[in-house]
């Protein structure tokens, strides 16, 4: 959530930055400022009336002691009370309108984020590894998996519908091995604390990280309960400290968790229908950092390097891309995507997205820290995939495939199998 004081003090700056995402946000800021002005006027009138009521109330004992008539004072106090009640009800309506609008406004892009409309305007930062040259026609992972009997899309659809998959034998074991491998690297080499979190969360928790209310259509909700299946462990890990004030000497905090993730993939009809690239249920190892503001951009670079390390150990070629303003996620101020090479598509595909949200999520979730002088400040939060497990499995099957239709297992995983 953006700081309303920043919007009041620098409306043109806020509108200019948000317009690099989408020009329509400028109108939302104008509307928000109108509502905010009305809200402030109502609050001031309530405060003034309360002050007047207090002053009038002080006169009662004085008038009685002096034998004066208190009728006018009583009538005015009653009138003030009725007016306050009316204004408080009006304020509740205006506050709700204000909160509903500000929660739909995305984060401001950092000043060094390239301006652009979509993925075509993203900027490649670096590449690692050479894409393999095959002396045969490489197959897509779903053909290899089906021929080996380890990926079963028909049974996945029979059980749950489209975009669900059943894994057998080597695929199931490799999925489990990858989860353990990723968690071991991040906890033993990168200093993360492993966490096991619930898969069902309250709406307030999703609001804290920005999934609600804007992306409600992408979420799976439990009927008649205020519970949703998580779309990513970013939600639970970031909200571990919601409504808390963290002592400064306890920062930074690094958390990692493996969870299944659940997304409806609204708006993705017809995209990546074959295989396991885009599923309604998928496994992911998530990385979350909670840090002091002055450290957050150094921590973002470290976060990207930590996610890259997994691909390097697996010897999978990839590239790092800096996302443009029009392609960034709702809560992000700056995002790097890591894209792994997919031979059958002859292109790189996203396997991790690493973002600094600055204090955007912290304001929504009320996560603060207390400095040495005793003052409270909002933290900065960062998140990234370390990595998406199914997409890593996909990349291994395709990059390590052999002419006979089988595939090798990366050296670093063999002890895990």
Active-site residue, from 38, 95, 175, 350:
350
Q: Residues 353, 358, 368, 398: which is the catalytic one?
A: 353
Map the chain to HEC letters.
CCCHHHHHHCHHHHHHHHHCCCCCHHHHHHHHHHHHHHHHHHHHHHHHHHHHHHHHHHHHHHHHHHCCCCHHHHHHHHHHHHHHHHHHHHHHHHHHHHHHHHCCCCCCCCCCCCCCCCHHHCEEEEEECCCCCCCCCCCCHHHHHHHHCCEEHHHHHHHHCCCCCEECHHHHHHHHHHHHHHHHHHHHCCCCEECCCCCEECHHHHHHHCCCCCCHHHCCECCCCCCEECCCCHHHHHHHHCCEEEEHHHCCEEEEEEEEEECCCCCCCCCCCCCCCCCCEEEEEEEEEEECHHHHHHHHHHHHHHHHHHHHHHCCCEEEEECCHHHCCCCCCEEEEEEEEEHHHCEEEEEEEEEECCCHHHHHHCEEEECCCCCEEECEEEEEEEEEHHHHHHHHHHHCECCCCCECCCHHHHHHC
Token code pair at residue 15? 């509108």
| 175/155 Cα distance (integer angstroms) | 18
Return the structure tokens found at 28: 């939302």
Between CA 349 and CA 356, with CA 353 as vertex, the angle to 5 degrees is 155
Note if 76 is an active site residue.
no
Cβ atoms within 10 Å, residue 402: 11
Peptide bond into 252 cis (omega under 30): yes
Say what the pLDDT of residue 271 is.
80
Decide: 289 and 227 in contact? Cβ < 8 Å: no
Output the known binding site.
232-234, 263-265, 286, 350-353, 383, 385
Which of 358, 398, 404, 394 is CA-nearest to residue 378?
358
Mean pLDDT by 10 residues, the chain (417 residues): 97 97 96 98 97 90 84 91 97 96 98 97 98 95 98 97 96 98 98 98 98 96 97 98 98 98 82 89 98 98 98 98 98 98 97 98 98 97 98 98 97 96
Which residues are annotated as part of the binding site for ATP? 263-265, 350-353
Rounded to an integer, what distance in angstroms lies between the CA atom of residue 323 and that of residue 389? 22
Spot the catalytic one: 83, 278, 319, 349: 278
Tokens 């998959």, located at residue:
165
Respond yes or no: is residue 391 known to be catalytic: yes
Confirm whether 296 is a catalytic residue.
Answer: no
What is the C-alpha separation between 257 and 194, in angstroms, rounded?
Answer: 6
Question: Phi-psi region for residue 270, left (φ > 0), alpha (ψ -120 to 50) or beta?
Answer: left
Q: Which two tokens stand for residue 366?
A: 């009320």
CB distance 359 to 293 below 8 Å: yes
- CA nearest 333: which of 17, 7, 3, 12? 17
The catalytic position among 263, 363, 364, 368 is 263
The pLDDT value recorded for residue 59 is 87
Listed in sequence order, the residues at least 6 apart from 225 whose beta carbon sits closer than 8 Å to its beta carbon are none
Q: Using omega within 30 degrees of 0 as the cis cutoff, is the peptide bond preceding 201 cis? A: no
For residue 265, the model assigns a pLDDT of 85
Kindly give, in sequence order, each residue whose CB lies less than 8 Å from that of residue 162, ignoring residues fewer than 6 positions away: 273
Q: Which of 109, 415, 165 is nearest to 282 (CA)?
A: 165
Give the number of residues written for the chain. Answer: 417
pTM for the model: 0.93
Give the pLDDT of residue 211.
97
Q: Taking Cα atoms as reference points, which of 194, 197, 198 lies closest to residue 183?
A: 194
Q: Residues comprising the binding site for L-serine?
A: 232-234, 263, 286, 383, 385
Task: Give catalytic status of residue 155 as yes or no.
Answer: no
Sign of the dihedral defined by the CA atoms of residues 114, 118, 121, 123, in that order: positive
Which candidate in 17, 363, 364, 391 is catalytic?
391
CB 156 within 8 A of CB 166: yes
Domains (range + CATH), the chain:
4-102 (1.10.287.40), 119-416 (3.30.930.10)
Q: Is 21 a catalytic residue?
A: no
What is the pLDDT, as a whole number, of residue 374? 97
């Amino acid at each position: 959530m953006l700081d309303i004081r920043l919007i009041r003090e620098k409306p043109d700056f806020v509108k200019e930055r948000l317009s690099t995402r989408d020009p329509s946000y400028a109108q939302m800021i104008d509307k928000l400022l109108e509502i905010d002005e009305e809200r402030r006027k109502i609050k001031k009138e309530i405060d003034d009336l309360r002050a007047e009521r207090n002053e009038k109330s002080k006169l009662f004992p004085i008038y009685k002691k002096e034998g004066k008539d208190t009728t006018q004072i009583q009538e005015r106090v009653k009138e003030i009370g009725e007016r306050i009640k009316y204004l408080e009800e009006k304020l509740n309506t205006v506050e709700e309108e204000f909160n509903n609008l500000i929660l739909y406004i995305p984060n401001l892009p950092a000043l060094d984020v390239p301006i652009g409309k979509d993925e075509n305007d993203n900027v490649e930062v670096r590449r690692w590894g050479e894409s393999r040259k095959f002396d045969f026609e490489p197959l897509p992972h779903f053909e290899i998996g089906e021929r080996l009997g380890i990926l079963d899309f028909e049974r996945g659809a029979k059980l749950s519908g489209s975009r669900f998959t059943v894994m057998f034998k080597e695929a199931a074991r490799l999925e489990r091995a990858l989860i353990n491998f990723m968690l071991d690297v991040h906890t033993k080499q990168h200093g993360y604390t492993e966490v096991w979190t619930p898969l069902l969360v309250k709406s307030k928790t999703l609001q804290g990280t920005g999934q609600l209310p804007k992306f409600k259509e992408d979420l799976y909700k439990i009927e008649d309960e205020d519970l949703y299946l998580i779309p990513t462990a970013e939600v639970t890990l970031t909200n571990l400290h919601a409504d808390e004030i963290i002592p400064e000497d306890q920062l930074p905090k690094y958390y990692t968790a493996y969870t299944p993730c659940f997304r409806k993939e609204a708006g993705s009809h017809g995209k990546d229908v074959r295989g396991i690239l885009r599923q309604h249920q998928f496994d992911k190892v998530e990385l979350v950092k909670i840090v002091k503001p002055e450290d957050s951009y150094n921590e973002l670079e470290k976060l990207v390097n930590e996610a890259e390390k997994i691909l390097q150990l697996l010897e999978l070629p990839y590239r790092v891309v800096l996302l443009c303003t029009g392609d960034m996620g709702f809560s992000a101020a700056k995002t790097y995507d890591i894209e792994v090479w997919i031979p059958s598509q002859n292109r790189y595909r996203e396997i991790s997205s690493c973002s600094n949200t600055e204090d955007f999520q912290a304001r929504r979730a009320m996560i603060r820290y207390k400095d040495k002088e005793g003052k409270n400040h909002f933290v900065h939060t960062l998140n990234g995939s370390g990595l998406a497990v199914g997409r890593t499995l996909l990349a291994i099957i395709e990059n390590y495939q052999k002419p006979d239709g089988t595939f090798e297992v990366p050296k670093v995983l063999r002890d895990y199998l």
